[in-house]
Structure 1
Amino acid sequence: MQSILVVDDDQHLRELVTRFLAEHHYQVYQAHHGADAITQLEKYDVQAIIIDIMMPELDGYQLIREIREQQKRDVPVIMLTAKGQLEDKEKGFALGADDYMVKPFELKELLFRLKALLRRAGSYSERIIELGPLQINKESYEVKVGNKILMLPLKEFELLYVLAANYEKVLTRDQLIEKVWGIEYNGNERTIDVHIKRLRERFSKITDQFRLKTIRGVGYSLEVKQK
């Protein structure tokens, strides 16, 4: 049974979501604010977190930052908020949220989105990927090339991980945005190009044993040179 943490200072909504998800065979834990959520994450292993933004003590933005930096860096996060402005969504996604729902929302839609995120996370469950000289460790978020260890910015790491997990497959920009930034990302798809450029610049100084290949008009793939 998959476990979900629901974080919201509105007890009625928290209970409503908990009962609904429990009816669909999820183990649900509750936290009434961000600080309480940190305590719950130290006690329980969860596969996804549903977070309200406006909360006392530690708001949703601060909690997402804490999760990504200190707690569970790769656990899917859905934001729940009354805020619908583009800048609020942008801030949440920049901090590492995977999806966004504006209150009031349909519980069935929440379930659909949760299942999609869990399915996506499960598709990339391999903790260590080794391709030629490249080793990508999703436990430590370290990338190792030969004897050199790199700590990449989170989105660069996730982009490299997705490309490596789909070794020699061509992924479109839309696919990469969905897998790395989430289906609700409203930014420009050129974001992918910028991150690819940064990755190329980093690794060009270290090795030529693999490359991030551009498929013009389609997307990108990761290729490793055969010895």
Structure 2
Amino acid sequence: MSKAPLNILLVEDHLAIARQVLDFLDGLGWQTDHAGTGALGVALATRNTYDVVLLDLNLPDIDGLQVCRAIKAGAPSNVPILMLTARDAYEDKARGFRDGADDYLTKPFDLREVALRCEALARRQQLHVHQEMRVGPFTLQTRAGRALYRDATLPLTQTGFKILLLLCREHPHAVSRSALLQALWGSQPPDSDALKSHIYALRKQLELVGGAGAAGVLVTIPQLGYRLAFDAAAGDG
């Protein structure tokens, strides 16, 4: 096993299984948190930073696939998710991967394999942390889901990061609302106010980190969408 301790969130309602997994991982010297419901799992994953989330699909309050989507949309970094479930049909695995799972392990499982998969996911994540994209005043670590404005970290949700990434990729061109909705939510977008809320939050984070003028780099194009308003070659002034 790796000597570097990992920080793991286990979302599992079956207490006997949870205790076995937690005891084993704790025995490796890893840090662990446990959520017995999907709601608590989402709350912990979006509030804290973990190396890997272990997610059961059969939760008492929220379907695990919905929890997976919520964590991927709201976590402060692109945390890998390893699904642990008794659902072993191909269709179940395909849905899991489509909804954001990074790996899938069916029950019953060997705890040593759980640890090995956690290490592999964390290692893969770390390999990509420093892959960067620079556009004007922004630096985006594309695999880590981390964004900086003038070297100051923007505390974005994953959805906010995806919006900024799309805008940076298309700069100096505008990105239409329909293109953003498709990229973020596929064929089942929420109501239009959801995108407006994320744009508003992104502007507030820019203002928080870069001052009142920073929010102005994200411009609304009436009847079309949004664009970043700065010279990508020269930066933001």
TM-score range, shorter chain: 0.5 to 0.7
Q: Which residue of structure 2 aligns with residue 214 of structure 1?
A: none
- Cα distance in 1, alignment partners of residues 11 and 42 from structure 2: 10
Alpha-carbon distance change, 40 to 96 in structure 1, aligned in 2, over 3 angstroms: same
Please identify runs of 4+ aligned residues in structure 1 that moved more than 6 A.
none
Identity %: 30
Alpha-carbon distance change, 96 to 16 in structure 1, aligned in 2, over 3 angstroms: same
Q: Which residue of structure 1 aligns with residue 200 of structure 2?
A: none
Name the stretch that deviates more: 7-16 or 43-52. 43-52
Check whether the contact 1:33–1:59 (CA below 8 A) recurs between aligned residues: no
- Cα distance in 1, alignment partners of residues 57 and 174 from structure 2: 35
- The alignment's TM-score, normalised by the length of structure 1, stands at 0.61
**Where in structure 2 are there 5+ consecutive unaligned residues?**
147-160, 185-237
Q: Which residue of structure 1 aligns with residue 117 of structure 2?
A: 113
Note the 1:186-197 alignment, pairs <5 A.
none
- Cα distance in 2, alignment partners of residues 38 and 11 from structure 1: 18
* 1:29 partner letter: D
Q: Which residue of structure 2 aligns with residue 122 of structure 1?
A: 126
SS of 2:10's equivalent in the other structure is strand
Alpha-carbon distance change, 126 to 54 in structure 1, aligned in 2, over 3 angstroms: same
SS of 2:115's equivalent in the other structure is helix
Alpha-carbon distance change, 76 to 42 in structure 1, aligned in 2, over 3 angstroms: closer
Name the stretch that deviates more: 53-62 or 143-152. 143-152
Q: Which residue of structure 1 aligns with residue 59 of structure 2?
A: 55
Q: How far does the alpha carbon of each residue in 1:132-160 deviate from its partner, in whole angstroms, 9 at most, with x for none?
A: 9x975533221414434655837xxxxxx
Check whether the contact 1:5–1:28 (CA below 8 A) recurs between aligned residues: yes
Shift of 1:39: 2.3
Aligned length: 155
Shift of 1:71: 2.6
- Cα distance in 1, alignment partners of residues 71 and 46 from structure 2: 11
Q: Which residue of structure 2 aligns with residue 147 of structure 1?
A: 172
Note the 1:1-227 alignment, pairs <5 A.
1-72=5-76, 74-126=78-130, 128-130=132-134, 136=140, 138-139=145-146, 140-141=161-162, 142-143=165-166, 144=168, 145-148=170-173, 153=183
Q: How far does the alpha carbon of each residue in 1:51-104 deviate from its partner, in whole angstroms, 9 at most, with x for none?
A: 000111112111001112223461100001111000000000000101111100
- Cα distance in 1, alignment partners of residues 36 and 98 from structure 2: 24
SS of 1:101's equivalent in the other structure is strand
Check whether the contact 1:79–1:100 (CA below 8 A) recurs between aligned residues: yes
- Cα distance in 1, alignment partners of residues 139 and 27 from structure 2: 41
Alpha-carbon distance change, 98 to 67 in structure 1, aligned in 2, over 3 angstroms: same
* 1:147 partner letter: P
Q: How far does the alpha carbon of each residue in 1:3-37 deviate from its partner, in whole angstroms, 9 at most, with x for none?
A: 11001110111111111111112100000010111
Alpha-carbon distance change, 73 to 91 in structure 1, aligned in 2, over 3 angstroms: farther
Alpha-carbon distance change, 73 to 88 in structure 1, aligned in 2, over 3 angstroms: farther
* 1:56 partner letter: P
Alpha-carbon distance change, 129 to 78 in structure 1, aligned in 2, over 3 angstroms: same
- Cα distance in 2, alignment partners of residues 127 and 35 from structure 1: 32
**Where in structure 1 are there 5+ consecutive unaligned residues?**
155-227
SS of 1:14's equivalent in the other structure is helix
- The alignment's TM-score, normalised by the length of structure 2, stands at 0.58
